[in-house]
Structure 1
Amino acid sequence: MASVAEHSGVSRQTVSNALNSPELLASGTLERVRRSIEELDYRPHRAARSLRTNSSRLIGFEVQLSAYGVFGPAPERFLHAVSESAMKAGYGILLFAESTGGNEETDRYAELSRERSVDAFILTNTYRGDRRLSLLRKRGIPFVAFGRSSARDPEDWVDVDGAHGTASAVDHLVGLGHRRIAFLGWPRGSGVGDDREQGWREAMRRHQLPVRGLRVSAGDDVDVAREAVGRLFPAGVTAVVAASDTLAFACYQAVRDSGLIPGRDVAVIGFDDSSAAGLLSPNLSSLHQPLREAGRACVQLLLARIEEPQRDPEHILLTPELIVRESAANRIVN
């Protein structure tokens, strides 16, 4: 910093202002300092800055592999957007592994916040009564959640409207002539799965179609899902909306087990629009999650929370897009 000050003919405090509070400087002075910074290739030393400001300029992110998550199989799109947005704001991302649950999970968050290893957290797969939320609130650590836990929880969150997505899938299938439309989902209690099921259920009722006996649960075990959904086809089911692309793949197998052809005899729509969706035969129709937009929105809310800790909670609900491919493109003949 002293070298930059000497090079540009200003004080060290002026250089500090140029880096941290540029609005305090006249435009000519600021431009002169920035030219010196560029010519000298000056970069603030993160560790030294952390000692002085008691700030790490890092955002913690737990990498989870749990089933029934908000990402589906494509977290890289979300993480790329988070990293890119954070970097533009002068922050880095600290990734840490998923714990086995219980006290170990909250202990890890407590340790990272106590040692100031991170300044804030982005949480995923939150749930009602999530102990991470109460811990971070108690310690005054800024955080934002990707995914809603409960309407009563006072936190910033960004989420994808799963109910809107599955409802749009039902609307599309009804438009093709389908009337017996099943839902292949996860065990109840998964916030993400329950949201997606609710959209299917409400759309079916809006179209005055039956739902009784048309909802099956299997988790993300392909073999279990294959067997569970296979029982529906003798009862005249002609279309299935699945809570994930993995479950949709299991449905493909069950359709073929029944001597039928996916996309011709039984329409299938997944959720996540994974990279495999366009590789399956037939190509899988699926609901595309705007994960890049979600990642940017999470960083936006988190930076606002760091800047203004007492601000009112803000919620951003994003809409998924139905990508229609061969598995749900053909009109059926009643």
Structure 2
Amino acid sequence: MPEGPRRPRRGATTIEEVARAAGVSRQTVSNALNAPHRVRPETLERVTAAIRELGYQPDQSARALRSGARRTIGYLAPVDDPLDPNPLMAGFLEALVDAAGEQGLRVLLFRPTPPASDPVAAIDELVAARQVDGLVLADVLSEDARIAHVAGLGLPFVSFGRTAPGQPQHWVDIANDQAMAGVVRHLAALGHRRIGYLGAAEELPWMAARRAGFLAEARRLGLSAVVAERPEVAAVRACLDGPDRPTAFAAGSDLLALDAYEAVRAEGLAVGPGGVAVTGFHDTPLCRHLHPALTSVRLPLRVIAAALVGRLLDQVRGAAVPAAGVELTAELVVRGSSG
């Protein structure tokens, strides 16, 4: 039985052979592997095709020995309950691992070792062990000790969330205020003139931005805005008590939207068209399983993760790093809860 064309044994092909097959220099192949943004798209496509056809597998260990790179990034995982995990951050981690893998990187998760709880000490331990090339931080607060500490160490880092003025602006985030403004415009276009906002009074930066965006857009459109400072079910029911009740609620998260569902129904009203419209934020999987399905703001987690990995790699490689952070647009996914 005749055999088809034999593919080289994985790892047997050299970088020089890839270069010959693609009609480029050895350095161009190296750039395609390590800094694809420096290679013209048509050339990158040709090199990628040659790598795939020849079964070329870069020797990561040899590369690490030559460069001193570990090909590993550390992710300081937020504290969470394994029996009730945060679905947003679980989705972000999935996107981060994929984005790192596309660049030949691993992601090392770490936390302070119990009973210790100081993330700064955990960072120092990881840095002393020389296990990572840089860090990814999330849930960044206005005065975040982790950012100041990592910046002082001179360690490459990026953050999902904005850093304070005067700190390195190595962040990627969504425009939370504009996303919530889009929710207000959506509800106003459906005819709602009195809209409630559900968001805890705590000043988490992203929640503060969503509230500010809600209030600014409601004011611009001449809407009547009601803010539930304590967005528990009882507080939402209080907002619904009386003739001037809101006809819609915009929640700062999908979980807060669940309180709105419960409160609306406890008042004998329906969620959705003909009743009280409800929107959420994050577009977690539960949105699709509610009845009616929840309108929510979807975060572009894969785009966020890719941008974070790209900015971190630029720092590791000593490339020019933009002085400003990256602000991305979120998408409003309309479902039955808002009509």
TM over 0.5: yes
8 A contact 1:242–1:270 mirrored in 2: yes
- Relative contact order higher in (CA < 8 Å, ≥ 6 apart): 1
Q: 1:161 to 1:21 in 2, by over 3 A?
A: closer
Name 2:238's counterpart in structure 1: 231
8 A contact 2:161–2:173 mirrored in 1: yes
- Give, in angstroms, the shift of residue 205 of structure 1: 0.6
- Give, in angstroms, the shift of residue 45 of structure 1: 6.0
Which residue identity is paired with 1:55? A
Q: 1:173 to 1:62 in 2, by over 3 A?
A: same
Aligned length: 298
Q: Deviations over 1:15-53 (max 9, x none)?
A: x98996789xxxxxxx9xx99xx67x866364x765664
Name 1:187's counterpart in structure 2: 201
Q: Tell me, yes or no, if structure 1 residue 215 matches structure 2 residue 222.
A: no
Q: 1:43 to 1:128 in 2, by over 3 A?
A: same
Residue segments in structure 1 that go unaligned for 5+ positions in a row: 9-15, 24-30, 219-223, 330-334
Q: Normalising by structure 1, what TM-score?
A: 0.79
Q: 1:148 to 1:100 in 2, by over 3 A?
A: farther
Name 1:305's counterpart in structure 2: 315
- Give, in angstroms, the shift of residue 288 of structure 1: 0.9
Question: CA–CA distance in 2 between the matches of 1:242 and 1:101?
Answer: 35
Q: Normalising by structure 2, what TM-score?
A: 0.78
- Give, in angstroms, the shift of residue 131 of structure 1: 1.2
Question: CA–CA distance in 2 between the matches of 1:180 and 1:168?
Answer: 16
Which residue identity is paired with 1:250? D
- Give, in angstroms, the shift of residue 318 of structure 1: 1.0
Provide the identity percentage: 31
8 A contact 2:147–2:163 mirrored in 1: no
Question: CA–CA distance in 1 between the matches of 2:328 and 2:336?
Answer: 26
Question: CA–CA distance in 1 between the matches of 2:112 and 2:281?
Answer: 24
8 A contact 1:65–1:98 mirrored in 2: no
Q: Deviations over 1:300-330 (max 9, x none)?
A: 111112122664434211111111111101x
8 A contact 2:163–2:169 mirrored in 1: no
Name 1:295's counterpart in structure 2: 305
Moved more, 71-80 or 119-128: 71-80
SS in 2 for 1:145: strand
Q: Deviations over 1:168-194 (max 9, x none)?
A: 111111111111101100223100100
Residue segments in structure 2 that go unaligned for 5+ positions in a row: 1-11, 18-25, 34-46
Name 1:261's counterpart in structure 2: 270
Question: CA–CA distance in 1 between the matches of 2:251 and 2:32?
Answer: 51
Question: CA–CA distance in 1 between the matches of 2:187 and 2:258?
Answer: 18
Q: Tell me, yes or no, if structure 1 residue 137 matches structure 2 residue 148.
A: no
Which residue identity is paired with 1:280? L
2:260 equivalent among 231, 234, 251: 251
Question: CA–CA distance in 1 between the matches of 2:320 and 2:57?
Answer: 35
Name 1:44's counterpart in structure 2: 59
Q: 1:99 to 1:298 in 2, by over 3 A?
A: farther
